[in-house]
Structure formats: C-alpha cells, structure tokens
Structure 1
Amino acid sequence: MSDITRPDRAKTATSEAGGRSVAAVLLSRRGAVYPPGATGPAAEGAHGAVALLEVDLVERGYLLAPALRSAFAALDTAELGLAGRRLLGDIDRALGAHRKHEPLFRGFPDSVPRDTYAHYADRVVTLLYQHPEQPCVLCGDVDSVRALSPCAHLVCGTCFDGADLSACPVCERRLDSDEPFLRPRRPRRILRRGPTLPDRLRRLSYGGDLAARDADARRELDALLARTGALSPQDSDDLAVLLDARSRDDLSWLPATVPGRQTKARVVAWLLADPAAHPTALPAVSGLVDTATDVLRVLVVRSGGDAGLVGIPRFAPVPRPLRRALLAVVDALDPASAVQDMRRYERAWIHAAERLHPFEYAGRFPRAALAFAALRGMRLGDDRLSACLRAAARDHAHIDVSGGTVAVHGWSSRVEAALAARDPGAALALLVRRPGELVRRLDHLLRLTGEDGAHPVVQGLERAVGDVSPAVLLSALGELRTRARERPARVFFPKGGAAKTHVIDDVRAPLPAGVVERVVGVLTAEALRRAAAGAPVDVAVVDAALHDVVAPFTERTASRALVTLPRGSELALPDGRTLRLFLHWVESASSGRTDLDLSAAMFDARWRQLGVCDYTSLRYEHTAAVHSGDLQSAPPPLGASEFVDLDLDRLAAAGVRYVVAVVYSYNNVPFGELGEAFAGFMLREEPGAVGPVFDPRAVEQRFDLTGRSRACVPLLVDVEAGRMRWLDVVKGVTGTEHAVWRHAHALATLAHRLTELFTSGARVSLGELAVWQAAARARTVVVRRADGGRDVYRRRDGEAVPSFAARIGSPDTDAAGHGQSAEPQLAHVLRGDLVLREGSEVFAVYPLGQDAAEVRLLAAADVVSAFAPR
C-alpha cells in the first residue's frame, strides 16, 4: 500500500487535515489534480456539475485539461462536490481568496474622500467635541449620533456613511458584526467581463489515481533532495509535507547523499523525530552527516531552530545512541579542520558539548574530544583525560599541546594572516585547498596582486573551479565581470532570517580589464563545461525575456509566493491596466491589536520624492493613486484588508518615474506574530469601482509576510517603462508609528541601489543560464523575442560551444529551415505556450498548459542546480 494512504500514518493524516496536504503541494508544484476513484463513463448529471466547477476555476485563473474534466465527470455527486471544494480551497489559499476582503471604504476607489485632511479633521473634531444626547458637532443633526460597539465612539450616521464604511470612522478599528451603524453596503457596479485571463493562467492536468499521486510526490521529494543550494521557505514547507508522507521504517527512498546542507539537516531531523525509528534512522544519519557544521545543524533543527543557523535555540536533550552517532562523525574529521568549522559558531558548539558529552566518550572518540578541547582552549593536567588528549594530538601537526593548553593553528587564521600581510602567494597556497573560499576571495586576491601578478591566481582558479558549488560560481561570475568599472555602491544581503540589505559606498579601485576578462573567461568556460553534461537535444527554445529574470540567490529568505519569481527579476506590465496592491492580515492572541499599513512612495527619474499614497494621503493626483483607507485593527475571523490602486498612465502624466510599494507594521508588531498576513497585486482592466474589490482571477502575485521584520518592500514599478521589478526585501526600522513619509529617503536609496545592482550585470540571469544550456546541448536554438519574432541559430561545423553561446542572441542568425519547426526538447521560457516533445525539460515562469506528466517541469533553483560540479 502507498505510504500516503497507509491508515497508520498519523503524521500524514495530521498534515492532510491540519496544514498543507500532499495534494496541495502537487497542485502548486506540478499543476496536477488527483480525483478519488477510478475513471469511467460520466455519471448522470455530472457534466453540468463539472461545468459549474469549471466556471469557479476560471474565476480564479485556472482551466481544466480534458482528461481531468473526464475524471471529474466520472465521480458521483458527493465525491465531485468534496473533490471540488478541496481543490477550490487549495487554490483560494494560494491566491488569498480564502479571506473576505473588505476595505475601510467599501466603495473603494470611488468613495475614498477627495480631501484626506478634511476627512481627518472631521474625525478629530468628532472625537474631541462630540457628546452624548447632543446635536452632531459637524452637521447639527439631533437624532443621528450614537455610540458604536465596542469602541464607544460617538458617531453621526448622517456625516459618516455606515453603508460605505466597514469600521469606526473615528478610530478606524473593526466594529462588532451586528453593529447597526454598519448598514448593508450598496451593491458594487458590475461590468460584464470579457475573456481576459491572468498571465499566471494555468491549465490543471489529470495526475491519476492515489498510486500515481504517491509516485509524483516521490519525484518532487527527490528533486528537492537533489538541490545543491538552500531551499526557499516555500520549498522547505513542501519538503516537510512530502517527508511526512514517507515511511521511516523503510528508507529505500532516501538517497545516499543530500548535497544541500540545510536540506540535509531537515531530513536528518525528520528521521530522528520518532525515537521508535532510531534503529533504522541512525545508520542513515551516520551516512549522511559528514562535517562538523552538519552535526550542529542537526542539533539546531531537532531543537526547533533554523537550518541556516540563524538564532541558535536551547538544545533539546540528545539520547545516548544519537550522541555516539554524532560524535563518531566529528571523530572521523581532521581535528584542526573540525575546530575551524566549530569556531564559526563557537558559543553554539560550547552549548552543544553540554548535550554531547564528548569528554565522557574520549576513549572511544579521542579526535572528537580533542576538537572540543581545542575549541575551549582547555588546560591539560595529569589526569586520564589530559593523557588521552595528548596522545590524540601527536598525529596532528596543527594541534599544539606543548604549552599546557590545547591550541590549534587553523587554516582560516593563516589565510587571514596572509591577506593582512598582503602576501597573496601564501594566501593562494592555502585557498586552493578550499575551492569555494578561493572563489569567494578572488576579488581580494586580485586587488593584492594587480595585473602583473594575477597569472598565478588565474592558474589556481583553473585548477580549483571544477569543485565549486553553482551558487558560488555564478555569484562570483556576476560580481567580477562588473569590476572593471567604478561602481558607486555595494549592496550586501547579510545572512539572517529575513532578506535584509546593506548598502555602503564602493571604495574599491576597479580591477584591470584584462584580468577581469581572463577570470570571467575561466568561470564562464566552467559553466559551459557543466552545462554540456546534460543530455543532448536537437532543438532548444529560449525566451529573450528571461534575461530580465535573475538567477535565484539567497533563496532561504525568499517569500512564500503564488508565482516563484527570483529576487531582482523584472517583468513587463500590460498597457492600459491598473495595478492594484492588496494587503490582508489577521491578529492573534500574541500580537494583540496590530495596525499594518500598505503604502506607495512616488519618485522622479532622479529618485527625488514626489509624494505618497498611504493613510496620510489617500489620493495622489486625484486618481493616479488611491488608497482604500486605514484599518487599524484586524480581529479574527474577518481580519483587515487595504488596497492601493496605481493608474500608470496618470502617474506618468504627473511626472512619476518610480513607485515603491511598502508594508509597515505601524505599532511595530512583527509580521510573524500575526495569525495570518499576506500581500500581493492584481492587474485590473475595469475603471473605478467596477467589479469586486478583490478579484481572484486578477491576482498575479500573492506572498506571505512572515518573520521578525516590521517593514517589507516587495516591489518597484518603473512607470515610464511599464515594468515591475520584484525586490522582496525587508527594511530595518526602529521605534513605532512607522509611515512611508518618515522613511522616504531610505526607501529611495534602497530602491535606487537595488535597481543599479540588478541592471549592472552583477547578477547572472536565467536567460544567460538558458543560453549556456542551449549552446552546450542543442544543435538548433530558437530565441523568441519580446516582439513575437524568432531568431534561429544552428551550430556550424566545427563551432565550439563558447563561440556558439556568444552568437546566440546576436544578429548573426541562421536562415530559418530544418529544426525551427521541430518540437523542442529543451525550453527556458517566460510563458509555457509551446508544444514540446514528451519527456522534454522546460522552465517557465508561467507554466500555462505544460503537463508535468508529459514534460519535466523545472523550477528556477533546478536551472541553477544543473550547473553543479560533475
């Protein structure tokens, strides 16, 4: 029986019932649906019921594949109803449509006050001077003033329209649902909508029965376990669900190696979560864990901490069998190297020793005990432990016990000493032993050597680059190719639990152009060599638009989002459409009353602030930008929603070049303490208040607000170019009463420098990776241009891969002919609107109708992982 369907799988049942289910994971990752029961002839009346389900799906931007429609039609009415509700529920949660969205001004945008300050003055006057059983201080009406519940503010029903407002007009906090002031709202004007569907439109495919679902879940799990880099939060969530669907009793599904260190820690922690499974799990753990930092990650994750070692928790007790297994890993390492790894997290390792008791096992694991003693600088005496440590130190040149203490002359300290002494030769001799560190420090080495002394560094790079991870290789390639010119600033993404940025002036002198060219040539040649390891194909397709999509980096801090768009990527916005930003949050017992604010800051081409659209200014240039009103509480179950409409044509006419969207926690409550918080944007065609305020079909992006941050900067709009850049960064703030106008200068600096970074070429794009894959593997490459045209490139006789790659995208095309009309077997595209041969590989930002049962759907991280060392 399938692991997923085993009746004794309590954790799977919990996962299916309480959190995300395996079906929801496969829906988002594969676009596949697995209806219960066997397919057969359509049940009586089923076609009408399926048609109703299709209508509901189209209203959310999804279509049914013919095979899936037939499978639904074969279900009886009860099964179809249950399957349909589950499917719509999963989709609604992904879109944010599972919540009721009701802004402060229910007639938004038409009913938003024209004068924000006049509206504010009316509220203040009402608060200060309104008295019970007295005429309204604003209009003089005698019988229209009443106290609202629960805030007890005295409000005039004539001056403030309870049919349009969804909260108290004075304090803007939610009212009791049965409060008479909240009169039934007037129906919104509804315009018959045409067939416009979102860019993220997806056709749902028929995945098969439960056995097929189990097999597909296994494939997705295998793909995640094969990733070389850190998983995004969304992928980590999916990994947890897919692991819970597996068995710890039979680990035949577990690969021998898991290249991603953080992924490995999560898998090992999951294996160890059930003590009853330790007899089976511990041998597997011993085979997977092979570095000191791996051991620390396992201790952290099983104690409820982060696999990235951000914020070390108090360690949970470690049972003796696990102690021995983990100490055996440390004992197998060179003690000096182990100590170097330990010193990166010294305080955490000292606390870990309290759980592992390494000196208790010194006779059995003497090298592990020696490493812990060196970490602590332990003084030696005449006791039995000291004798054991001295004996263990005899075979290790870099462990010194002659001074009465255990000291280590480590690799890192020697590298730092060589660099500080400006001795690039000594530093290079050490760095070539660790290729990743060599590539990370290339810039520093090249600055020390200059053009005349760069040759040994380039030679060392050529020898070592084959063992470098793809993330380090591509990061160095992007960064170094821009170092021949002066740059005004450097942008860092420090390691942490959120996507923080740090901007400083770049005071480094540019590197010699010749040196940069040689180093970039080595790195590019290595990338092309790795690309050639993939299976050869006849035809590959590449979208030129992917050159604006950045290869993913720092994925571990990426937001959980409807559309996985790497940080820094840019997409075109359709002409004549209104961009509607949205925000929704629900308070929790731990957060208390929480006021989130959705805001937009407007800047000109020189990043000078022109204005804002937020709770202090509900309208910018009349209707160029309109805010739905400031809700200041979000009690469950209704929560609160805010919206901002951006009319790009009117903004351009007002001289606005850039719009920066931002979400603040006004009273400084971390997003992660809320019961739920998410934001996103829609693309709308209807003018004014036509249509629902939240239209699931129009949602193009939806992302979660999580973590300890209090300010999020999700995106930037280039009004003149009609393009959106996905930033997905958090902004550090202090104090309370956060508002966009207080941080306008910092926002301008952040957005300006990030724009410079992502347009400078300092980050490798997915378009470049696609071209390298195509050049290395295909005989014919078709490039689809943004204007709809196509350029065909065929590998010429004797043409080397680097030359072919350099030609792809250039005017040096080949005449259309054989291969252009053949079905591609490899595609990297923005939209999956092409016919591919069965078994093809395809990356698409918007998969559209691509069926994961017929092609191998790649995520952006999979495209990067294809450049792993071979």
Structure 2
Amino acid sequence: MEGNPLLLAAESVLLRRIQTVFVDGPSSSGDGSGPALRRLEAELLGRGHLLSAELHTALGSLGSEELAAAHARLVGLVDDLFGSDRVHTPLFRRFPRTVPRGTEALYVDRVFAFLLQQPDHPCVLCGEARTVFPVSPCAHLVCRLCWDGSDYAGCPVCHRRIDANDPFLRPVRAVGAAKAPLPGPLRLLRLGTERAADAGAVVDSLLARRTPLSPQDRDDLLTLLPLTPAGRGLLPREIPVRETKAMVLGALLRDAPDGLPVQELLTERLTTATDVLRLLAVLSDGDAGLVTLSPFTSPPRPLRRELLAVLDALPTPYLVEDVLRHPTAWKRAAEVLHPFERHARHPRAALAFAVLRGTPVDPGTAFGAALLETAAAHPDAVRVDDSRVDDGRVNEGRVNEGRVGRVRLRPATWAGRLEQAVAEGDAGRAAALAGERPGELVRRLDVLLRLHTCDTLVPELEKALLRGLPKVGPGPLLSALGALRVRTEDRTGRRRVFFPRGEVTRALSVPERRAPLSIGLVTAAVTLLEAELLRRFAAGEPYELSVLDADLADLTVPFTERSTAKALVAVPRGSTQTLPDGAVLRLFLHWTEPQGNRTDLDLSVAFFDAEWKFTGLCDYTNLVHGPQAAVHSGDLTSAPAPQGATEYVDLDLARLAARGDVYAVPLVFSFNNVPFEELPDAFAGFMALPAQGPRDASYDPRTVRQRFDLAGESRVCLPMVVDLGRRRMLWTDTHLTSTGGFQSIGSHGGDQLATTARDLWDQFGSGSRTTLWDLAVWRAAARSPEVAVVCREPEPALLRYRRRPDEDAAAFAGRVSALEDAEERRPHPDPDAAVAELACGTRVFLATVHGSIGPARASGTCYRLFPGAGDASESLNRVTAGDLVAELGSGL
C-alpha cells in the first residue's frame, strides 16, 4: 500500500468511520518487536486509541521495518483525525498564565511603538538604548526588554507570525507541569481483513441514505468508490438521493470503466429532468446539489444525444415543471445541449426549452409548426399565448384560426392549480390536488390544515394521507411530524427559524404569525404519520430486546446534512450535550493562509445574561473577561505555511456562571473577509481540561471533544451556544452573514448576535424537531416485545417495558416515549452494567449516546454517538443516525 495515494486515502476514511486498520507486510516471528509495539501502543493510548487483540497480534507479527512503517502511518492518520499533526503555537506561548489583563494598555503600547519608534533610537516605552531591532518579516521595531521573546510567537506590534529563526524568539521558559488532562472517550481499533469488503459496506450504506449526504460523507463516498463494485458500474437497484446518484454517475462517466453500458445506465438511472441537470453539473466539476452554479462544459456529442433522449422520454408535464424549477441553470445547460438543433428527434425536450426561454414561435416555419404540434398534444403541460408578438403589439389573429403570428408557449402547472385552491380556501380541492404528489402533500400539510374550519380532517385530506404517506420519503415525513406536534401551542411573540438551502447553513428567523391549530386536527394528522413510521419499522427483522438511552432525546434527527461541517463527532445540528463536570472548556482555532494572501481569523466569545442582554466578550479587544473566567491566547494576524496559526479561548464555566454570565456564544470570524473555502487548512473545536491546577498551551488530542472544518463561502461561523449554569452545549453548526469586512463581535453587534443565538436556542428547545429518541422508540416498539430504558436523571435507573397482549405498537411506543407505566422501574447505581447483563446473548437493538454498553455474545444493531466499550463487540452491526433514517425508506 505504501505510496498508493488511493489506498492511503481509503485507509484514512475507514479508520475514521469504522475504526478499522489494515496490516500489510510480510509476517515474521515478531522477535524484537515487543518494545517497538509497546511504544506504538503508548502513543496511540496518548491519543485516545486502543488496539484490539487481533490487531495487536497482527502488528506484532511484522518485521521491524514493517512495524516502523505501520507505526508512522497509523499515528499519522490518528493525528490528522484530531488535528494534532499541525503546529499549535498561540501568540502568547505560555498561555494562559502570561496573557496580560490590561488589553487597552497593551494596545496603547503597541500603537506607541508603531508610530514613534525609530531605528537606532532608545525604546519609546522603556528608554533603554540598543535594545530595539526589527523582526522578520514585518520589519517592525521591537524592544527586546519590553516584549518577552520567550512568550511571544508573533510580532508584538502587528501580531503577524515571526520567522522561526528570528533572534527575537527565545525558548519558552518552563512554568510548571500542566495537570493530567481529563480523559476523553477511548476508540478501539480493529483489524481489517478485506479493504474492498469494508469499503463496499460503507459505500452501500451511503448510497442507501434517504437524505442528502454531508460534505464528509460525499468525500468519503468518492474516495472509497473505486475500491468497490459500484466503482465498476455495478450499482445498487436504487440510489434514493438524486444528488448522490449524480455524483456516482459522474464519477463513472468520467473514468468510464471498460464495458460500461452508458446508454442503459443513463436511461435507467436518470428519471427526472433535474437528474440530467445534476449530472451535467457534476461532469462540469460543479455542485450536484445545484446550490452554486458553475459554467457548464460541453459534453461529447454522443453523451449529449443520450441526455436529450432521456429528457424527451420523460412525461411532458413533469418535464416542463422540472425545467422551470431551475430556470437559470437550464438556460445555461441549453447552451451546451443545443436542444433545437435536432428538434425533430427530441420534440418534447425542444418544447420544454421553448417554454423555459419564452422562445417566439412562428407557425410559418418548420420549427415553429413542429413545436405547436407537440404543444397541442400536451395541453396539460403547456398553453399557447398569442396575445403579443415580438414587438409588443397585440396579435390580432389567432393561431388556430390559421392567421400567421408569432406566439409564445406558457406552462400550465400543477403547482399553479394548487396555489389557486389554497388562495380560495378550498380545503377539499387543495387536499385532492396535493394528494397527487405525496411528497408535496406532506410538505404543505400545515398549510392544508390551516384551511380547515372544523376539528376533523376533511375526507379528501384523510384519504390523500392514507394513500400517499406510504410513498413519502423519510425526510419530509419526519420533518412534518416534528413541526406538527407543537402546532397546538400559542407561540405569539415567538419566532420561527428556517434554514434555507445553501452551501453553508444559515439561520433565518421571522415572527410567528400563524394561529395555533386545533388539538383534534393535529392529533389526527400526527396519528397517521406515526402509524406510517411504525409500519415501516415493523417490516424489518425483529429483536428479542431493545435497549434505549433516554438521553437520545437530546439528539435531533439529522437534517440539512448537505451543509453539515466535517467533524470528528457527527453531532446532529440542534442537539444538546452535557459538558464534562469540573472542566475548563478550551476553544481552539487553527488555520493556514493561502500563498501570498495574508489571512486573519479571530476566535471570539460573546456573553449574555438570562434575558440575553450582552454582558461582555473575550476576543482580541478584551483578552481576559472577568476574574480569569475567560482568557484569550492572543490575536495572531497571519498564518503562513507550514506552521499556520492557532488561537485558544479558555472558558472556566463555574467562574463565568458565578459572575452572572448565563450564555456563551463562540464565533469564528474572518477579520479581513477571506472566505473559509479559500484557506488550505482551517478547523476549530473544543477540549475539556481540568479546572484546577496549571494549564499550558499544548494541544493534547486526548482532551479533544469536537473538531470541525471551516469551509464554504462564509466568513462567520457560530458553531454552538453554551448554557454556562446547566453546563449544556447546543450544537448549531450555523454561519452568519458577513458585514462587509473587518468581521468582529463589535461589527455584528451584541443585540444581533443575541437575537440569533436566542432564536436558535428557542427553536431547538421547542420540540419542533423529531429526535433520535423518537426514532429509537418507534423502531423498538415496532420490532421488540421488550424494551429496557437507561435513565441517568434525576437518578440512575433502569426501566423495563413489555408489550401487552392487547397493546398495539402505537400504544406501546407511547408508554415508552413518555417513560410512564413501566412494568419495572428500579434505581440502579450502574444501569449500563445492568442492561449489558440483561442483553447478554440476545439479539438486541442498542441505541445510546455513549458507547459504554457492551453486552457479551449479543448480536443485532447498535447506534451510538460517542465511542466506548461497546465497540469491542464484533457481532453488533454499528449504524449511524443517517442509516436509521434510511431504513424508513427501504420499502419505497
């Protein structure tokens, strides 16, 4: 594998996703490898990883050279995963101890030195002579007495990085050993045996997803695809997500394996006009999601013919509507497809483009006559508009009267008819129309319910739901259910938050002006939606037992994943997590600037009280907030390769809460407006450090709890909101609109930031999103006769539920979800151990936040967010949240 970039990239993906390591190299007796293997074990343990027995044996069988190579490769992969392979040196190298409290006085000294200091003159600050020298590369004049070269990593005047060999820099003086870090979750590394099989399993699960893939998943899919049968054109029968399908087809057409049946592949796989558009975008190195538009490249003539043939074979009403959904993109695509060139071969495709472009049609030409003939055959899709000619004059004649006049073709769409019915308040007709397209029916369910004048569903809507719900994808189904459950509440004065589709996720909030819906309407609709989810889950293989963690209620079902940040832990947006007790939260930021483009990123934190009033900040303008409650490591203003730059902010949660701060809002700003996507390397995250004892500026991978990439056309990132008193973190993974330059908390305003953070906190705390607890309960109730629930608050306890003889799945799920009426409820000091013993040797569905439950000899399915002892089980099939959602669409 050495030197093969494809296999190296694949190994990195498999290590991160399934903790699998492949051992290559000739076996030996292992003599003499004991000390070397123990060194490898020690280094991995220091990075939060353990070797399984099989992997330990396989590594021990390598010769010394092979083991050394495996050591370097494995440690390098783990370091890259946590970001610890970069150089992390903040401005104040002895942070947090040497950070000056008086940021204003420090700023005054810097300004004096910048404006008044002259070469060969005494220092303007201390008056000493022969102590002032320029530093490289900025050439600012710096006094060696006033500024401590053993502490500063950048120029004290402008804070740009200093060349490593500049004499101003001196070794860091020791300040006492830092306290041992709080241990994070341990990850168990397993021995892989078949790269192709493991890669194929990951690829199959990604292709089966029913929601758009995250950027990390998209990259992983394309990395692993060449190792699998799918990379040779042997695709699964269905790829539900259309942009995923376009990515795979684009990769296949670009590489074109021998014998690839292009015509058959396109005819079978491209089932909508937007499928064709997505494929064109991918082949032009663009975005399969069509969020951003890149110039289209002209496809080869044979492929162009095939794509036009696909469009021509689609039902004309759907073709016209689909083209009109992306008018700008399709107009650009027409420039490379040339749909009018062979209009007789592709008449319906030519018709759709004539409608899109508003092309004047002259009945006196062969082209115009052909278009009008095709239009006459499809009155449900288009109509002839002959009210005006090209110059704007009224056309006195009618085409069907035989008079010559140029006309235009207009769409006659289903959406227009539905909007008219809604505008007229006709609940029955609107429901019947919406029922023709089940996905739209569910997306517009709230609108349809608002048309009701009674507390029961109109027959047309009930009939449409019963007929249409089995055809709806899991994403719209789960979103509609979550939104409906809170619609009986009067939310006057509250705000609604939307997450518009985009390259990065931005939050848009508006006042809530909708009147609440009646309890009867909501109950009837929710009952139908939940019944459909239970029906789908019941189609899978049964379990003897389900073990659920009540803390799953803190995790939302993933949504808008296509703009999710690449992260160490895939926490769904909108989820909350408890922060470690007795810990200081260390926020970190690292970036490298593009060659020749100085880039200044800033790590900042804004603080608010219980009423979301601004109480202060910790950033480059205020390095210390409160009595060492929040401490900033200093503002580095450049990040040249290869070192880059690092900034920290230490948050002592107890001290912050004691001084009256209730919420902390961390932010990452691109101060000089360079988009994150232009940076070759940029990531942030947080660590958990001990609150007591000394701390230093080291970057210890054992303490890293989350790490995420900064990417996309964005300059401001709001990754999370922290409740300081309850020690809770809301993962927002959201970006803010930039202010045009010189981004900072000051430029955005404390009130504006408070509004955004408060709206996000209220939105995700309102219960309007389905959670992984909901998903796990439905799955367990549909497929298990017994459910055990681990509760950790207010005291550790184990609850056991058994399905009663006369109880249907919905009633069983209702009891479990409410944590009421259990057959057995008993406090237990260690419920994880108790439930592991209960599940021993059974076929079990295990769903937990932390992977701390590891039942012996158990088989079945396991979901966990964080790694733990349960990962040691080889017989449990580990799945992701996306896999659980995808299961709901397996029968569509």
TM range (shorter): over 0.9
Q: Would the alpha carbon gap of residues 263 and 821 (structure 1) be closer, same or farther in structure 2, given more than 3 Å must change?
A: closer
Higher mean displacement: 419-428 or 812-821: 812-821
Q: Would the alpha carbon gap of residues 95 and 171 (structure 1) be closer, same or farther in structure 2, given more than 3 Å must change?
A: same
Q: 1:571 aligns with which of 533, 557, 577?
A: 577
Q: 1:234 aligns with which of 216, 232, 238?
A: 216
Q: 1:840 aligns with which of 850, 860, 876?
A: 860
Q: Would the alpha carbon gap of residues 691 and 68 (structure 1) be closer, same or farther in structure 2, given more than 3 Å must change?
A: farther
Q: Would the alpha carbon gap of residues 37 and 855 (structure 1) be closer, same or farther in structure 2, given more than 3 Å must change?
A: farther
Distance 2:509 2:11 in 1: 42
- SS across alignment from 2:69: helix
1:329-728 to structure 2, matched below 5 A, reads 329-378=310-359, 379-398=361-380, 399-401=382-384, 403=386, 404-451=407-454, 454-456=457-459, 457-487=461-491, 488-589=494-595, 592-685=597-690, 687=692, 689-728=694-733
1:36-115 to structure 2, matched below 5 A, reads 36-37=24-25, 42-115=29-102
- SS across alignment from 1:798: coil
- Cα offset for 1:324? 2.1
Distance 2:289 2:341 in 1: 29
Q: Indicate the percent of aligned positions where both proteins have the same amino acid.
A: 45
Distance 1:347 1:815 in 2: 61
Distance 1:676 1:784 in 2: 41
Distance 1:639 1:688 in 2: 29
> Match of 2:395?
none
Deviations 1:662-681 (A, max 9, x none): 00011111011112110000
Distance 1:375 1:709 in 2: 32
> Match of 1:856?
877
Distance 2:354 2:260 in 1: 30
Distance 1:278 1:189 in 2: 67
Q: Does 1:15 align with 2:6?
A: yes
Alignment-mate amino acid for residue 815 of structure 2: R
Q: Compute the TM-score of the two structures, normalised by the length of structure 2.
A: 0.92
CA contact (8 A) 1:601 1:611 kept: yes
- SS across alignment from 1:295: helix
- SS across alignment from 2:152: coil
- Cα offset for 1:449? 2.1
Higher mean displacement: 671-680 or 525-534: 525-534
Q: Compute the TM-score of the two structures, normalised by the length of structure 1.
A: 0.94
Q: Which runs of 5+ in 1 are unaligned?
A: none
CA contact (8 A) 1:780 1:820 kept: no
Distance 1:277 1:214 in 2: 19
Distance 2:77 2:378 in 1: 57
> Match of 1:806?
814
- Cα offset for 1:275? 5.2
> Match of 2:139?
152
Distance 2:624 2:872 in 1: 44
- SS across alignment from 2:101: coil
Distance 2:670 2:302 in 1: 46
Distance 2:314 2:720 in 1: 45
> Match of 2:850?
831
CA contact (8 A) 1:587 1:676 kept: yes
Distance 2:873 2:573 in 1: 25
Q: 1:205 aligns with which of 176, 190, 215?
A: 190
Deviations 1:143-201 (A, max 9, x none): 2111111211111111110000000000000111111001111235324637x5203x2
CA contact (8 A) 2:90 2:697 kept: no
Deviations 1:716-742 (A, max 9, x none): 111111111111000111222211133
Q: Does 1:820 align with 2:838?
A: yes
Q: Does 1:262 align with 2:243?
A: yes
> Match of 2:402?
none
Distance 2:357 2:590 in 1: 49
CA contact (8 A) 1:781 1:792 kept: yes
- SS across alignment from 2:838: coil
Distance 2:454 2:867 in 1: 47
CA contact (8 A) 1:478 1:761 kept: yes
CA contact (8 A) 1:337 1:411 kept: no
Q: Which runs of 5+ in 2 are unaligned?
A: 387-406, 826-833
Distance 2:853 2:4 in 1: 39
Distance 2:572 2:191 in 1: 28
1:27-38 to structure 2, matched below 5 A, reads 27-37=15-25
- Cα offset for 1:863? 1.5
- Cα offset for 1:74? 0.6
Alignment-mate amino acid for residue 144 of structure 1: T
Distance 1:191 1:172 in 2: 26
Distance 1:565 1:402 in 2: 52
- Cα offset for 1:851? 4.9
Alignment-mate amino acid for residue 217 of structure 1: A
Higher mean displacement: 592-601 or 821-830: 821-830
- Cα offset for 1:688? 5.8
> Match of 2:804?
796
CA contact (8 A) 2:623 2:634 kept: yes
- Cα offset for 1:455? 2.1
- SS across alignment from 1:359: coil
- Cα offset for 1:41? 6.5
CA contact (8 A) 1:256 1:287 kept: no
> Match of 1:162?
149
> Match of 1:734?
739
- Cα offset for 1:244? 3.0
Higher mean displacement: 266-275 or 418-427: 418-427
Alignment-mate amino acid for residue 313 of structure 1: S
Distance 2:650 2:243 in 1: 40
- SS across alignment from 2:341: helix
- Cα offset for 1:336? 1.8
CA contact (8 A) 1:563 1:702 kept: yes
Distance 1:164 1:459 in 2: 73
Higher mean displacement: 243-252 or 358-367: 243-252
Distance 1:337 1:637 in 2: 53
Alignment-mate amino acid for residue 720 of structure 1: G
- SS across alignment from 2:616: strand
Distance 2:453 2:45 in 1: 61
CA contact (8 A) 2:573 2:733 kept: yes
Q: Does 1:777 align with 2:758?
A: no
CA contact (8 A) 1:293 1:342 kept: yes
CA contact (8 A) 1:370 1:393 kept: yes
Q: Would the alpha carbon gap of residues 733 and 192 (structure 1) be closer, same or farther in structure 2, given more than 3 Å must change?
A: closer
- Cα offset for 1:659? 0.5
CA contact (8 A) 2:487 2:522 kept: yes
Alignment-mate amino acid for residue 412 of structure 1: A
Q: Would the alpha carbon gap of residues 674 and 402 (structure 1) be closer, same or farther in structure 2, given more than 3 Å must change?
A: closer
Distance 2:573 2:711 in 1: 16
CA contact (8 A) 1:248 1:280 kept: no
Distance 1:670 1:249 in 2: 33
CA contact (8 A) 1:561 1:704 kept: yes
